[in-house]
Amino acid sequence: MALKELPRAAASAGRTTAGRRSSRTGRTARRDDAMFVGPAVLLFGGILGAGFILGLWYSLVEWNGVNREMTFIGLENYATLLSDDRMRGSAWFTARFALVTTVLSNLMGLGLALLVTQPAPFQRLYRAMFFLPNVIGGILLGFIFRFVFSTAFDSLGELTGVGLFQLPWLGTPATGFWGTVIVFMWRSSGYLMAIYVAAIVSVDEDLYEAARVDGANWLQSTRRITLPLIMPAVTVGVFLMLSISSKLFDVIFALTNGGPYGSTEAFALNIYNEAFIYNNLGLASAKAVVFFVAVGVLTLVQVRFTQRREVER
Amino acid sequence: MTGATLAPTPRLSRRNRRRAASIGLSAGIAALAIFWMSPMYLVFVNSMKDFGEILRNAAALPERFMSDNYEVAWELADFATALVNSLFVTVLAVGGLVIIGAMAAWRMARRPHRWHKVLFSLFVVAMVVPFQTLMIPTVQLSTWLGVVNTRSGLVLLYLSFGMPLTVFFLHGFVQSSVPREIEEAARIDGASSWQTFRLVVLPLMRPMIATVSILHAFWIWNDFLLPLLVLFDPARRTIPLAIFSFFGVHSDQWDLATAALVMGMVPIVVFFLVFQRFIIRGVAAGSLKG
């Protein structure tokens, strides 16, 4: 403790003796702060920062966006939300969707990662193939599967008579839900695979060697060595998917646009529709604030969880 | 005696079993990978058929390879313009983000006084804010700033939206991997702050700048909602917007639509395939830090 204080004491002593010089370096330091950090602050504050505050304000007004007229109505928008059945429906969809896709795409990603880290030919090629859907934009993905689920499946169903192709994919609420899940999994499993591959290849090879000497088979060494050691990556993968899937917009916008009958209207899409289809910008802003709070709580849980993990380790 | 002759047999069969398992595994992965690519296959083969042929058999290879759909879709979507616009916006925004972000990150990491710490916390909080929360004010602010419906205005918006993540990553990198001693040596040799940054620090930050650039390039290239909200002029559309408005008009003409989809995918897929090892590693590293 005393030792730690020593340099600081010396520094403050130095500052008093060289008072004039430090005021000049203080000025250059401030100038350098402005020069290096200033542009980032302006860009960040001018749009993101100002936008956030403006958004809070908009959530307290009634405003149709067409004319300039805004009426301050306090918390009335938030009260309206409590009885908004459509929003409750979309929150329920988003929660189910996030949970299902988080579990399934993490399992899929882990499975793929275990496969492509086995000694077999062309593994680099397979990794690229599984990862590929992740680089394609959400709008394109949505449209690709609109084609696959409609015209392509119709044609295949007629040719083969396989029931899976003849289902009205995207036509009923149940198939619409699973159709959306499939598209999202196609995109995110490869991403999670990359995360899990990075974790798996960093496991010490000697552990497997020792297990092999002790007569462990592949299943045993995977369960007893690989899985426990990549748990930190699992935590990352789970929270990453919860966050991404609860904010999903593009894919759904192109694939179902919330249909059939609003059954796949994700929360992000609900806000968009409220703002730009129904022109209730005040109400939409209140929803946007609620959305931020929900995502924020999820993030806080993640931070807590990760911290506790690190303490335990 | 019998024991000695029998002894090699189980070892041999075990090796055979292992070989069989390894062949089975290879075949399994290959089958899964082919299945994984089947949506791409469907889009690609049908982009070379006329509509009747798509309906007859969507899974078959085209009867003859024709590029008519591509020629029509290319014109109808004004794809050349969209390609130029996407390149313009992505290159300028990513370049601006990493330069401005690197300057701020370095300064904030080296002089962590109170205001820099406050700013850093704000950046961290901002990374959590979903885009929909900022969407309505962004449209309003862009109107006020007079940057609606311009590509450089879109670049400006990306510079703002991408800044928190950029600074967060580069800040961490400066702290962990840029040695302070080299900077101090440059200082003693009489380099100014800017020279130190430009000639000493920036080159040392290159690995993380590459990672951040890749993350941002994919995000901006594929981003849809922000350009949808601020670009109206067809001549200023980026690729996702061009594809989207193409589908608005030709949504059931799947012969043309599949060709448009392939055109939309090709640039980013080529970029990915060229840099794939680097990208997969970078993306995985990026998510682990975040």
| pLDDT score, position B288 | 59
Banded model confidence at residue B11, pLDDT cuts 50, 70, 90? low
Banded model confidence at residue B197, pLDDT cuts 50, 70, 90? very high
CATH class, range A77-312: mainly alpha
List all residues 6 or more positions away from A278 whose beta carbon is below 8 Å from its beta carbon: none
ipTM (interface pTM): 0.89
- A238 shares contact with chain B (CB less than 8 Å): no
| pLDDT score, position B153 | 95
Q: What is the mean pLDDT of residues B106-126?
A: 93
- Higher per-residue confidence, B285 vs A255: A255
Banded model confidence at residue A7, pLDDT cuts 50, 70, 90? very low
Asked if residue A12 has pLDDT above 70, the reply is: no
CA distances from B216 to A128, A195, B62, B219, B229 (A): 20, 18, 37, 5, 19
Percentage of residues of chain A with pLDDT beyond 90: 61
Shortest CA gap A108–chain B (Å): 12
| Degrees, nearest 5: CA angle B36-B216-B150 | 115
- Interface with B, mutate which of A140, A165, A309 (most B CBs under 10 A): A140
List all residues 6 or more positions away from B224 whose beta carbon is below 8 Å from its beta carbon: A137, A138, A139, A249, A250, A253, B240, B241, B244
Banded model confidence at residue B275, pLDDT cuts 50, 70, 90? confident
Asked if residue B1 has pLDDT above 70, the reply is: no
Asked if residue B189 has pLDDT above 50, the reply is: yes
- A278 shares contact with chain B (CB less than 8 Å): no
Shortest CA gap B50–chain A (Å): 13
Q: What is the mean pLDDT of residues B104-133?
A: 94
| pLDDT score, position A312 | 58
Asked if residue B5 has pLDDT above 80, the reply is: no
Asked if A143 and B22 come within 8 Å (Cβ–Cβ), the reply is no
Shortest CA gap A254–chain B (Å): 8
Asked if residue A100 has pLDDT above 70, the reply is: yes
Shortest CA gap A84–chain B (Å): 18
Token pair, residue A163, equals 């029931």
Q: Which long-range contacts (CB under 8 A, 24 or more apart) does A116-122 make?
A: A116/A193, A116/A197, A116/B29, A117/A197, A117/A200, A117/A201, A118/B25, A118/B29, A119/B22, A120/B22, A120/B25, A120/B26, A120/B29, A121/B26, A122/B29, A122/B30
Contact list, B269 vs chain A (CB under 8 Å): 132, 135-136
Banded model confidence at residue A70, pLDDT cuts 50, 70, 90? confident
Q: What is the mean pLDDT of residues A80-98?
A: 93
- pLDDT tens per residue, range A171-208: 888 899 999 999 999 999 999 999 999 999 989 889 99
Q: What is the mean pLDDT of residues B263-288?
A: 84
Q: What is the mean pLDDT of residues A86-91?
A: 93
Q: What is the mean pLDDT of residues B210-219?
A: 92
Which SS3 state, helix, strand or coil, does residue B32 take? helix
| pLDDT score, position B209 | 94
Banded model confidence at residue B52, pLDDT cuts 50, 70, 90? confident
Banded model confidence at residue A43, pLDDT cuts 50, 70, 90? very high
- Higher per-residue confidence, B56 vs B155: B155
- A118 shares contact with chain B (CB less than 8 Å): yes
- Interface with B, mutate which of A30, A31, A48, A272 (most B CBs under 10 A): A48
Q: Among A54, A62, A96, A63, which residue's Cα sits nearest to residue A79?
A: A62
Banded model confidence at residue A15, pLDDT cuts 50, 70, 90? very low
Q: What is the mean pLDDT of residues B93-100?
A: 98
Percentage of residues of chain A with pLDDT beyond 70: 91
Asked if residue A21 has pLDDT above 70, the reply is: no
Taking the mean position of all CA atoms in its chain, how far away is CA A306? 16
Listed range (A48-57, A184-193, B66-75, B255-264) with the worst mean pLDDT: B66-75
Asked if residue B152 has pLDDT above 70, the reply is: yes
Element containing residue A193 per DSSP (H, E): helix A173-201
- Higher per-residue confidence, B272 vs A68: B272
Token pair, residue B19, equals 């070989």
| pLDDT score, position A28 | 84
| pLDDT score, position B12 | 57
- The chain B residue lying nearest A129, using CA atoms, is B33
> How far is B147 from B149, CA to CA, in rounded Å?
6
Banded model confidence at residue B239, pLDDT cuts 50, 70, 90? very high
Instruction: For residue A235, report the phi and psi dihedrals to the nearest 5 degrees.
Output: -55, -45
Q: Which amino acid is at B128?
A: V
| pLDDT score, position B4 | 45
Listed range (A17-21, A137-141, B131-135, B155-159) with the worst mean pLDDT: A17-21
> How many other CB atoms are there within 10 angstroms of residue A6's CB atom?
9
- pLDDT tens per residue, range A260-301: 888 999 999 999 999 999 999 999 999 999 999 999 999 899
Listed range (A56-65, A81-90, A176-185, B271-280) with the worst mean pLDDT: B271-280
Residue spans in chain A of domains classed CATH 1.10.3720.10:
77-312
| pLDDT score, position A160 | 85
